[in-house]
Structure 1
Amino acid sequence: MAKRKSKFMCKSCGYESAKWMGRCPGCGEWNTMDEEVEVVQKGPRGAFQHSDNTRQKAMPISTIETMKEPRIDTDLDELNRVLGGGVVPGSLVLIGGDPGIGKSTLLLQVSSLLANKGQRVLYISGEESIRQTKLRAERLGVASDELYIYAETDLGLIHDTIADVNPAFVIVDSIQTVHHPEVTSAPGSVTQVRECTAELMRIAKTKNIAIFLVGHVTKDGQIAGPRILEHMVDTVLYFEGERHHTYRILRSVKNRFGSTNEIAIFEMLQSGLKEVLNPSELFLRERSLGGAGSTVVASMEGTRPILVEIQALVTPSSFNYPKRMATGLDQNRVSLLMAVLEKRMGMLLQAQDAYIKVAGGVKLDEPAIDLAVLMSIVSSYRDLAVGLSDCFIGEVGLTGEVRRVSRIEQRVTEAAKLGFDRAVIPSSNLGGWDYPEGIKVIGVETVSDALKIAFKE
């Protein structure tokens, strides 16, 4: 006979406890512990239940045959790049982002493109009625007989509808609204999200259906629900951007069928999302001419080089402790680089406030941007502009040396395409590749060498 057992789980981090607590010991959030009732099946100790018809035998790895995964083109080049070349049938994709950022708009447009190619798509909305979804579709110009709209949150009914419609693609908007009829907890709880995702994953793998899940995010920007949710799915995408700005960035943080850290850039228009095919030109379009504190760096986002402007503003501080603020960069890295300038270059920055920003809303976290950040800080501190046609690439060590970076040829080639005349790179990156025409490549070993080139000391 089944035995009922109660436990308390945190909605934010999934921490489990035998008793209720006001504050979660795992994440520190208040009033996030919900009671959940689980049914424990009693049986002989050490006995496992399994089905003989689904049992597989272990095989030597040398005898297993492999084949390249088939891909389905979505007609959105930016989305195809983030997914690794297209949608893989039978894959489970999770898309998270802030409310109103455009997740539903993107998936509705993708549904229309796939349906127009003859692929049957089932769009399941747990937050809007079919009429509300229809109004959104009319605004986006979406209309196809192969696109089916279904408003439901019961997982049992969703399972039956998938069997009836037999689609090639399924969109679930959102996973936090779906509830499993056999789970007693409320929709959006840790157990509900985990069990519903596991059932949808089983449907995707057994029926070879590509399923897209929309996930809500917490105030910290993490996908709501248990952390195991991101481990269960094949691909995790984050939709980033400011709601009051027009540009959106779709970032891949996990992909079993392609490279991670790929980004796709879209522009939000009245008619929906539009691809931005040349993001480097977009980020440098509004660059000020001759302004101090501005430097360009060629950063790698996945397999794509992107030229981004880094801006710095260094001003005398009126406080005992100067401010260090960074937008789009790691603030600890900025403090470290300023310490290098103070110790190795003799610049007195302890009485200066420093504000560093990556223009365009991009987040950079690779070490190859160090040299450009330093050049921006020095440019603002000395009130001297860096050459408009100069690009700086390189990692900076604690002793002031400029260290080697990866994929230097792709970075310099992208700078040459946009008309830059000089690229300052680490000396260790000079050999072994062909320099593109129209750009002068200069190697430096230390920060001091880079400063002499940038400001003609």
Structure 2
Amino acid sequence: MAKKNTQYQCQSCGTIVRQWAGRCFKCGAWESIIEQVVIPENKSGASGYTGTSAEGVVLLESVEASETERFKTGWDECDRVLGGGLVVGSVTLLGGDPGVGKSTLILQLLCNLGAKKHKVLYVTGEESSEQVALRAERMGLDRSACWLYSAVDMDSILSAIKKEQSKIVVIDSIQTMVLSSLQSAAGSISQVRECAMMLTHLAKQTGVSIILIGHMTKEGHVAGPRVLEHMVDTVLYLEGEQSGRYRLMRASKNRFGAVHELGVFAMMEDGMREVKHPSLLFMSKATQSASGSVVMALWEGSRSLLVELQALVDESHGQNPRRVVVGLDGQRVNMLLALLHKHAGVATHASDVFINVVGGLKVTETASDLALAMAIVSSLNNWVLPRGLMVVGECGLNGEVRPIQQGQARLQAAVKHGITVVIMPKANQLKVPKGIQCIQVAHIREAKIALSALAETQKIATAQ
């Protein structure tokens, strides 16, 4: 009997080593290296998983490019993140923390698509059929057109998809799927890779749209090999606190649309519901104006969202002043504090500084610099600002206010939400809409002076 060809592979990072060791030399994980059988390439799903035929070398202009066909999910927020809908023959990976609502969202999406006469199949490897049916009944979903299959064996799942001729398939989750020809356990690097490759091959060969639900690691990545994200067409992340009500869907990769689009959903008792006007979610609902609160226009994908930044600057009673930042980059906040001290005379070295983004959104855009700086100045001087104020702009290390992209679109979004005064870079040559006072500044000192004048006007108006 021929000896099986085996190898040792780390189940955390995928590194292949010659012999077993208690600790992986690359990622440092303990007890993660296991022995597994090497599958010949002609028996593995790795060969030709794109589903293309061996037609040889062709000229690019000779290939007919047809318009991409999409399935509309029935949710504008979801379609926006996907780039217009679920593409026929595509493979989408949805990741998220446990309990964030991945299975709930996808079950609702499948029932919506099934109601539109699309043949859909929900493959569950984590829950029994009774559990899924009970959840669908609790949410009041139309279950008459949604097919269900509880299994983890990849061969039987592929056979069921072909037999039922399903057009849209959900795998919940890819980490529970098992290929019988592999000796490793479910969720291992090799199992996840091979199962995903076989599903991708099926999607490209037959035109089935497949959605893979993936578990997340403690580092915030989808569990399994990194090649999994390279293999699929779209990578989505569902974010949100379990104790909170709202969920954010982002696209970090999309071969059929723009990345970094943002979809907002609300978790209700009967499942997920899309939020039609997400800017209202990220703005404070306080009835009175307060210091340290500034609204900015954030550009997410193809639309502008109004987000409120809050700063609290207080006298420090410890030896080392605290810097607590939620929703922003802490290093950039430290840079802005130094910039304010150097170029605007705003000293915070003896004060505790607390920064927060309303609604739990994570802001990475540099156009938030000026708004954050003005929120700090407002809190430090206890300047109460008018509620119709919006500040946007990027700050350079020399104190200059640099231009931003999509300035005109941000102004249009400000008009829709009742903004009356805008402080923005002078370098942006814009057509100011009616009803808005636009104060354009070239330096952070000018922005501070303009903010002081607005605070004085607000003080006089309040006194009257």
Write the mapping of 1:9-408 to structure 2, written as runs, cut at 5 A: 9-39=9-39, 54-287=53-286, 289-408=288-407
Q: Which residue of 1 is the match for residue 433 of structure 2?
A: 436
Contact 2:115–2:145 under 8 Å retained in 1: yes
Within 2, Cα distance between the matches of 1:84 and 1:41? 35
CA spacing shift, 1:378–1:55, aligned 2, 3 Å: same
Change in 2 beyond 3 A, CA 1:191/1:368: same
CA contact (8 A) 1:171 1:213 kept: yes
Give, in angstroms, the shift of residue 9 of structure 1: 2.7
- AA aligned to 1:443 is Q
Distance 1:24 1:271 in 2: 45
Q: What is the letter of the counterpart of residue 347 of structure 1?
A: V
Question: Is the alpha carbon distance of 1:202 and 1:338 closer, same or farther for their aligned partners in structure 2, counting shifts above 3 Å?
Answer: same
Q: Give the secondary structure class of the aligned counterpart of 1:119.
A: coil
- Please state whether the residue corresponding to 1:423 is helix, strand or coil: strand
The alignment's TM-score, normalised by the length of structure 1, stands at 0.94
Q: Which residue of structure 2 lines up, in the alignment, with residue 45 of structure 1?
A: none
Moved more, 353-362 or 395-404: 353-362
Cα distance in 2 for residues equivalent to 1:351 and 1:144:
61
User: Partners in 1 of 2:350 and 2:135 — Cα distance?
Assistant: 54
State the distance in 2 between where 1:199 and 1:128 align: 22
CA offset at residue 140 of structure 1?
1.4
User: Displacement, 1:309?
Assistant: 0.6
* Residue 200 (structure 1) shift: 0.3
- The CA deviation at 1:163 is 1.1
Q: Is the Cα contact below 8 Å between 1:287 and 1:309 reproduced in 2?
A: no
Provide the C-alpha distance between the structure 2 equivalents of 1:280 and 1:345, rounded to a whole number of angstroms: 31
1:383 CA displacement: 1.6
- Residue 228 of structure 2 aligns to a residue whose secondary structure is helix
- Residue 4 of structure 1 aligns to a residue in which SS? coil
C-alpha deviation, 1:68, in angstroms: 1.9
- Name the structure 1 match of 2:460: none
Structure 2 unmatched runs, 5+: 457-464
Query: Partner of 1:314: helix, strand, or coil?
Result: strand
Contact kept, 8 Å, 2:284 with 2:358, in 1: the verdict is no
Q: What TM-score do the two structures reach when normalised by structure 2? A: 0.92
1:72–1:88 contact (8 Å) kept in structure 2: yes
Q: Deviations over 1:229-264 (max 9, x none)?
A: 111000000000000111000111110000000011
**Alpha carbons 2:92, 2:232 under 8 Å: kept:** yes
- Conserved in 2, the CA contact under 8 Å of 1:204 and 1:210? yes
The aligned counterpart of 1:4 is: 4
Instruction: Kindly provide the amino acid, as one letter, of the partner of residue 452 in structure 1.
Output: I
Q: Give, in whole Å, the separation in 2 of the partners of 1:209 and 1:168.
A: 5
Unaligned runs of 5+ in 1: 43-47
CA-CA distance at 1:67 after TM superposition:
2.0
Moved more, 84-93 or 23-32: 23-32
The change in CA–CA distance for 1:286 and 1:29 in structure 2 (over 3 A counts) is farther
Q: Does the 8 Å contact 1:401/1:446 carry over to 2?
A: yes
More displaced stretch, 31-40 vs 125-134: 31-40
* Cα RMSD, aligned residues only: 2.0
Q: Once the 2 structures are TM-superposed, how far is the Cα of residue 2 of structure 1 from its aligned partner?
A: 6.9
TM superposition shift of 1:41: 7.2
In structure 2, what is the Cα distance between the partners aligned to 1:54 and 1:359? 51
Give 2:459's aligned residue.
none
Q: How far is 1:37 from its partner?
A: 2.5
Secondary structure (helix, strand or coil) at the match of 2:253 reads strand
Instruction: Give the distance between the partners of 1:355 and 1:28, measured in 2 at CA.
Output: 35
Q: Hey, what's the Cα distance between the residues in 2 that align with 1:312 and 1:274? A: 31
Alpha-carbon distance in 1 for matches of 2:2, 2:70: 45
- From the superposition, tell whether residues 377 and 114 of structure 1 become closer, same or farther in structure 2 (CA, over 3 Å): same
- In the aligned structure 1, how far is the partner of 2:10 from the partner of 2:435? 58
Q: Is contact 1:238–1:253 with CA below 8 Å preserved after alignment?
A: yes
AA of the residue aligned to 1:203 = L
Alpha-carbon distance in 1 for matches of 2:384, 2:18: 62
Report the alpha carbon displacement of residue 381 of structure 1 after superposing the two structures with TM: 1.4
Over 3 Å counting, the alpha-carbon distance change for 1:34 and 1:356 in structure 2 is farther
CA offset at residue 378 of structure 1?
Answer: 1.1
Paired residues in the alignment total 448
